[in-house]
Structure 1
Amino acid sequence: MTKRIDVEFQSEGFTIRGWLYVGDESRKSPAVVLAGGWCYVREIVMPTYAQAFAEAGINALVFDYRNLGVSDGDKPQHLDPWQQIRDYENAISFLERHELCDPDRLGVWGISYSGGHALILAATDPRVKSIVSQIPVIDGYENMRRAHGTMEYRALWDLILEDRKLRYEKPGERLYLPHATEDSASEVSSWPFPETVRTFMSIKNSTAPLYQNKSTVESVDLLLNYDVGPFVKRIYNTPTLMIVAEGDDLTLWDLEIGAFNQIPCTNKKLEVLPHTSHMTLYSDQSKVEKAAGFARDWFVQTLKP
């Protein structure tokens, strides 16, 4: 096991807490920032990736966004993608100044919602020299329309409008909904897939007790306006690996492949994991380790530890 140390940094007035997996204590090494998807806390699969990177000589910082897990925040379980991207940016600023990190060899890894964030960071932050985007959310609007279907999508919008009314009439109050549910016909959730709630509740019970199966309704309101499309066209020279699960109908592998094809950078690679679903990249350790190997090899190739 490599050395793991507790760290914290500031992001827009909030204390963000995480773990730094040390690649080499004797010199400045490359470093990669990792953060999670919808409602994730740092214990959810990310330590497997961070450990693989550190064993290859690459520092790896895993952190909880504001409002989640052990980090501070003013809106519990609230997921604002642009705040999360700023937390990533401030994690990069923290690593730039760390004595064990080479500020000229910094990378970003993201999965699901943060897989989209990684693509945006590749387009908007020149400090990022390489990224891995795994099963990313591409277009929140299209994703929600297709994931919920017509009747459930109507119910979702009814809840969003109810929340908007509440936030106007009683500032500071907000509605919540489950991350996922067993019965999407009778309970509105953000991601209406029974395998999602089963997988994450299993992870909660085994390794991630701070995970909560809920977010603010406003989080979904914000997701509906999230789209990496305008950003992937701006990834000209940031090496990009996208890892996609074959047939993924949660974050929609056709949208992921379409986004990959729009990246103009010539140093890009697409890995499609066969016989793999979105959720088996959390529940099946062999698949997690295979994806971690792809990501590790990409960062070794591009950040050169």
Structure 2
Amino acid sequence: MKIRLTIIAVILLSLCGTVTAKEIENNDMDNLKLTQVWDKKFPKIDKVNHRKVTFTNRFGIELAADLYEPEDMSGKLSALAVAGPFGAVKEQVSGRYAQAMAERGFVTMAFDPSFTGESGGEPRNTASPDINTEDFSAAIDYLATLPEVDADRIGVIGICGWGGMALNAAAIDTRIKATVTSTMYNMSEQMHNGYQFAPMSAADLHKTKVAINAQRTADAIAGKPEYVGGFPKECPVDVPQFMLDYWDFYMSPERGYIDRAPACSTGWTKTTPLSFINTPLDTFIGDIITPVLLIHGEKAHSRYFSEEAFVRLKGDNKHLMIIPGANHTDLYDNLDVIPYDDIEQFFKSNLK
């Protein structure tokens, strides 16, 4: 049986019913209430100091972040802002990367993008190519003010869907001196075109637009958004392997499950795709002249996103690293394949 993946089901990482905004915990985000206990999906490294911080982007949204610093700091250090994947929060993948880089001598910050996790913004669990690109620049604002950070040596790491946002930020924010993407998704391309292996026709795209705009009307009448719902508790059947890989990560308590994450709870708002469909993230990445390292798994269904970005980048310091045998989610938490040493060397070579 041939499986037709709809844009809503795939992008919003959902295989179940709808949820209303009233069912989301901590819905009032005017004053952020940050969890102080260690609730990460990875162990704490003793030689890395950790503290919660907040900062505000230029849209006035207050963001929550985990700041990781080497235990023994001397002089001003290079710094990294880290975010992703799409549907995740800082307690999962971005925090793992951030802490690992802090252990290697960087000041790092893993942040929850606007509208997600412990960060502010309404409605909850929505995404925007503009606002979420801005979130990276707002993180640079914060890092540049820290006394232990050399403001001329700041880079970014974008994972999965936030890889596309990281490249978009690097195209406009000249303070970003080096960029790493890991298992990158170009969310705009995927939402507009479908997958390379399951392309969306013009007629299907039009039907998608009609459906999402009808949802806007329904949300306006209801006075609140509807959500697509996160992954189901039971393992799905008759879906592609990469969806099973996602399910295994997000719904396994020992790997990635945390109820604050969109993929583990409500999913995204049903209208989230609208701005991505109409706003290509990679339009100006050819303007990037600073170094870029694109990392992707050889077996990842999403590999072509990094390969396409590599072609579109015009700078003379771009690198594409393909990890043998790795799939998309291996680069979330598989320590046997995440190339931390290569990421460390890339940043140390280019943030100096």
TM-score (norm 2): 0.75
Cα displacement string for residues 118-163 of structure 1 (whole angstroms, at most 9, x for unaligned residues): 1111111001000001122222335535576669x67855642331
The Cα shift of 1:26 comes to: 3.1
Q: Distance in 1 between matches of 2:192 and 2:307?
A: 15
Residue 161 of structure 1 is matched in structure 2 by 213
Deviation at 1:202, TM superposition (A): 1.2
Q: Are residues 270 and 115 of structure 1, via their aligned partners in 2, closer, same or farther at CA, if it must alter by over 3 Å?
A: same
Query: 2:273 and 2:253 mapped to 1: Cα distance?
Result: 23
User: Using a 3 Å threshold, how does the CA distance of structure 1 residues 79 and 184 change in structure 2: closer, same or farther?
Assistant: farther
| 1:18 alignment partner in structure 2 | 65
- The answer as to 2:54 corresponding to 1:8 is yes
Distance in 1 between the 2:51 and 2:218 partners?
42
Contact persistence 1:39–1:79 (CA under 8 A) = no
Are the aligned partners of 1:53 and 1:60 in contact in 2 as well (CA < 8 Å)? yes
State the AA in 2 paired with 1:132.
V
| 1:1-80 pair list within 5 angstroms | 1-11=47-57, 12-23=59-70, 24-80=72-128
The TM-score normalised by the length of structure 1 is: 0.85
Instruction: Structure 2: state its 5+ residue gaps.
Output: 1-46
Deviations 1:61-91 (A, max 9, x none): 1111122111122211111121111111111
Structure 1, 216-225 or 98-107: larger mean CA deviation: 216-225
- The equivalent residue for 1:284 is 334
1:227 corresponding residue in structure 2: 280
Identity %: 26
Contact 1:204 1:210 in 2 (8 A): no
Look up the match of 1:198. Answer: 248
CA gap 1:220/1:135 in 2 versus in 1, 3 angstroms: same
Corresponding position of 2:296? 244
Shift of 1:207: 6.2
Provide closer, same or farther for how the CA distance between residues 246 and 102 of structure 1 changes in structure 2, counting only shifts above 3 A.
Answer: same
- 2:161, 2:184 within 8 Å by CA — same for their partners in 1? yes
The answer for the alignment partner of 1:295 in structure 2 is 343
How far apart are 1:283 and its partner, in Å?
4.8
- Structure 1, unpaired ranges of 5+: 187-191
> How many Å separate the matches in 2 of 1:109 and 1:25?
21
Matching of residue 140 in structure 1 with residue 190 in structure 2: yes
| CA distance in 1: counterparts of 2:193 and 2:343, whole angstroms | 25
Does the aligned pair in 2 maintain the 1:179–1:197 contact within 8 Å? no
Alpha-carbon distance in 1 for matches of 2:283, 2:81 = 23
The secondary structure found in structure 1 opposite 2:102 is: helix
Moved more, 196-205 or 3-12: 196-205
Residue-by-residue CA offset, 1:162-203 (whole Å, 9 max, x unaligned): 312224445x422211355655889xxxxx823212211115
1:294 positional shift: 2.3
Report the counterpart of residue 257 of structure 1 in structure 2: 307
The one-letter amino acid paired with 1:3 is: N
CA distance in 2, matches of 1:142, 1:297: 36
Q: Secondary structure at the match of 2:115?
A: coil
**Aligned-pair Cα RMSD in Å:** 2.8
Identify if the C-alpha distance between structure 1 residues 219 and 185 changes in structure 2 by more than 3 Å, giving closer, same or farther. farther
Closer/same/farther in 2, CA of residues 142 and 297 from structure 1, 3 Å limit? farther
Residues 132, 3 of structure 1: CA spacing in aligned structure 2 closer, same or farther, 3 A cutoff? same
Specify whether residues 178 and 150 from structure 1 end up closer, same or farther in structure 2 by C-alpha distance, changes over 3 A only. farther
In structure 2, relative to structure 1, the CA distance for the partners of 1:150 and 1:143 (3 Å cut) is closer
Query: Contact between 1:180 and 1:197, CA under 8 Å: does it hold in 2?
Result: yes
**For residues 239 and 149 of structure 1, do their structure 2 counterparts lie closer, same or farther at Cα, with a shift above 3 Å needed?**
closer
CA pair 179-232 structure 1, distance change in 2 beyond 3 A: farther
